[in-house]
Amino acid sequence: MIRVGVIGARGKMGGEVCRAILGADDLELVAVTDRDARGDPIGEIEVVSDLSAIAGAGTEVAVDFTHPTVVIDDARRCLADGVHVVVGTSGVTPEGLEEIRVLAESGPANAIVVPNFAVGAVLMMRFAEEAARHFDAVEVMELHHDGKADAPSGTAVATARRVGAARAGTWSAPSGDEAHPGARGADVEGIRVHSVRLPGLLAHQEVVFGGPGETLTIRHDSTDRSSFMAGVLLAIRSVGSRPGLTVGLEPLLEG
């Protein structure tokens, strides 16, 4: 039985993670924290705002779905306390990722940081990377609910980096007119990335490639947060046996 704590338990993703853990025979929910500690317990666990409750409950693995502004502090605290960390919070910067790597490699606890826990999203990135070997011209469009704090999404950034590294050429298009800066989206290592935030959406991304006389579109849609839970549970079960830092769900799927 793996003892699990959830940080950000009052959030939509945090609540879904708690329910998934409670439904798993090999996992035990032992601690839940959130800046909003009001309301009913989750399972039989009281929600508290103090992060010390994670280590205090004998947590083996902490799952973080919070906010880009606090996730590194959370990971730093858990790793220092010897608690393995699974980070699902989007918007982790390269500098933050490097700090987590150093802490995980130098201490007793490991970390897994995943931009997107949906298996379909992992396959979408893999297929896009393969297509980039044949198409230099490519742009990324990501669409999310209007409560998502970061833009571009972590999945879009990860996709752009993989595609940019795989393509043979360096195609680029005009950047737009000076009167409308930003119209062409963000530049992520030479790849244009466009972000949409609207109510009614959850998590969607398409990668569009263009070539002479043809286009190729690779798209993934998450229509319910349950799509992420298999990946979250896999990461919880895997983090203790993967020394240091693991980035992305793909290494876990490959064993």
**Which CATH number belongs to the domain containing residue 21 in this structure?**
3.40.50.720
* Residue 172 and residue 143 share a domain: yes
User: What is the pLDDT at residue 170?
Assistant: 84
* Residue 184 and residue 85 share a domain: no
Q: Are strands 27-33 and 47-48 parallel, antiparallel or unpaired?
A: parallel
Q: Are strands 191-197 and 186-188 parallel, antiparallel or unpaired?
A: antiparallel
> What pTM does this model have?
0.85
Q: 10 Å Cβ neighbour count for 181? A: 9
Contact present, 146 and 203 (Cβ < 8 Å)? no
Contact present, 111 and 252 (Cβ < 8 Å)? no
216 forms beta bridges with 209
Q: Kindly report whether the peptide bond that precedes residue 152 is cis, defined as omega within 30 degrees of 0.
A: yes
| pLDDT tens sequence for the chain (255 residues) | 999 999 999 999 999 999 999 999 999 999 999 998 888 899 999 999 999 999 999 999 999 999 989 999 999 999 999 999 999 988 898 999 999 999 999 999 999 999 899 999 999 999 999 999 999 999 999 999 999 988 999 999 999 999 999 998 888 888 888 888 889 999 998 999 999 999 999 999 999 999 999 999 999 999 999 999 999 999 999 999 999 999 999 999 886
* Residue 211 and residue 137 share a domain: yes
* Residue 127 and residue 107 share a domain: no
* Residue 106 and residue 136 share a domain: no
Q: Which helix (H) or strand (E) segment is 64 a member of?
A: strand 61-64
Q: How many domains does the chain have?
A: 2
80: its two tokens: 């220092």
Q: Could you tell me where the DSSP H helices lie in the chain?
A: 12-22, 52-56, 71-80, 94-106, 119-132, 154-166, 229-238, 250-253
* Residue 83 and residue 25 share a domain: yes
* Residue 211 and residue 145 share a domain: yes
* Residue 155 and residue 176 share a domain: yes
Q: State the CATH number of the domain containing residue 196.
A: 3.30.360.10
Contact present, 6 and 21 (Cβ < 8 Å)? yes
User: What is the pLDDT at residue 17?
Assistant: 98
* Residue 129 and residue 206 share a domain: yes
* Residue 98 and residue 19 share a domain: yes
* Residue 70 and residue 136 share a domain: no
User: What is the pLDDT at residue 162?
Assistant: 95
Containing domain of residue 83, as a range? 2-113+225-253
* Residue 130 and residue 175 share a domain: yes
List residues with catalytic annotation.
144, 148
User: What is the pLDDT at residue 255?
Assistant: 63
Contact present, 61 and 238 (Cβ < 8 Å)? no
Contact present, 227 and 123 (Cβ < 8 Å)? no
Distance of CA 235 to the CA centre of its chain: 12
Q: Kindly report whether the peptide bond that precedes residue 94 is cis, defined as omega within 30 degrees of 0.
A: no
Cα distances from 96 to residues 39, 75, 103, 148, 219, in angstroms, run 32, 10, 11, 19, 29
Distance of CA 120 to the CA centre of its chain: 14
User: What is the pLDDT at residue 181?
Assistant: 85
